[in-house]
Amino acid sequence: MVLPTTLPKLVSLEFNYCSRCRELLPLQNFTSLKELVIYDCSGLTDLFGDILHSCTSLQRLSVSCCKNLIPFPIDLQQTPSLLELELYRCPKLKTSMTPKGFGFLTSLNCLVIGPFSDDNDHENSSIYNEFDWSGLISSSYSSSTLRELKLYGLPHMDSLPFLLQYLTTLISLSLHDFGGIEALPDWLGNFTALEYLDLSDFKKLRHLPSDDAMRRLTKLKHLRVFCSPLLKERCTPQSSGPDSQWSKVSHIQYLDISSG
C-alpha cells in the first residue's frame, strides 16, 4: 500500500480489513503520529523493520488478527514514547521476528502479546523462547511503568513462559488459552502489586498457586476465571477435600468464576 510521502501533522492512522494489502512501506515523515492500528489485514504478510523509523512520537501500536503476517522485526528504539503495544492473534508471526528493544521503552505501561509461531514446536512454551523478555524485564525494573500484561498461549501449552516470573511490578495480569496447564506456579505469589488476575480457557487447570503463595497477593481484589471448568468446580463454597481451592479465593473482594 502506497501512502503520501509526508504527513507530518497526522496523529492517528488505522488499517482495518485490508485483505489486498500485502505490505506497508516505511512511514516516512510521520513525525506527529501517536497511534497506529493494523487490524484484520488478512493479505498482509510483511511489516518491514524500518516501517516506524520516523515515528518517534508514537504512543500506541496495535497489530492484531493479521493471519498471514510472518515478520515484524522492528527496533523499538525507534519508538521511545510507546505507552501501549498490542501484538496478538497473528498465528504465523515468528517469535524470532517480533519486535526487539523493549529495554528502550521506559514509559510502556500496557503490553498485549501472542501467540506466536515457532519453527520447531507450535504446541508448547517454546513459542516464547525468542521473545525479548530480557529487554522487557530490564525496562520493568528500571522504570517500573509496566502495569498491565495480557498474554495469549495455545490450547496445548502446559507451562507459562519461564521469564514471566520476573515481571513482578504488574498490577493487572491476563492469561488466555494455556490449555495444558494443570497447576499455576507458586512464583505468582511474588506479584505482590497484583490487583487484577484474569484466567481464561485453562481447560485442564485444577490448582491455583499454594495457599502461602496466594496469601502473599495481599493487593489482589479481582479474580476472573472463565472457560476453565475444572478450576470452577474447585472454587465454590460447596467444594471440599484436598482438591478444593475455595480457601485460596474466598477472601477476594470481586470474584467472577464462570464456565463460559
Domain extent, residue 223, equals 171-260
Pair 140, 182 in one domain: no
Q: Is the pLDDT of residue 150 over 90?
A: yes
Q: Strand locations in the chain, DSSP E?
A: 12-16, 23-24, 35-39, 46-47, 60-64, 84-88, 110-114, 148-152, 172-176, 196-200, 222-226, 254-258
Classify residue 224: in a domain, yes or no. Answer: yes
What average pLDDT does the segment 70-87 reach? Answer: 92
Classify residue 159: in a domain, yes or no. Answer: no
Specify the pTM: 0.92
pLDDT of residue 122: 47
Classify residue 162: in a domain, yes or no. Answer: no
Better pLDDT: 3 or 42? 42
Q: What total of structural domains would you count in the chain? A: 2
Classify residue 83: in a domain, yes or no. Answer: yes
Q: What is the overall mean pLDDT for the chain?
A: 89
Pair 137, 22 in one domain: yes
Q: Is the pLDDT of residue 2 over 60?
A: no
Pair 127, 253 in one domain: no
d(CA 191, CA 169): 7
What average pLDDT does the segment 7-33 reach? Answer: 86
pLDDT tens profile 196-251: 999 999 999 999 999 999 999 999 999 999 999 999 999 988 887 888 999 999 99
Better pLDDT: 119 or 138? 138
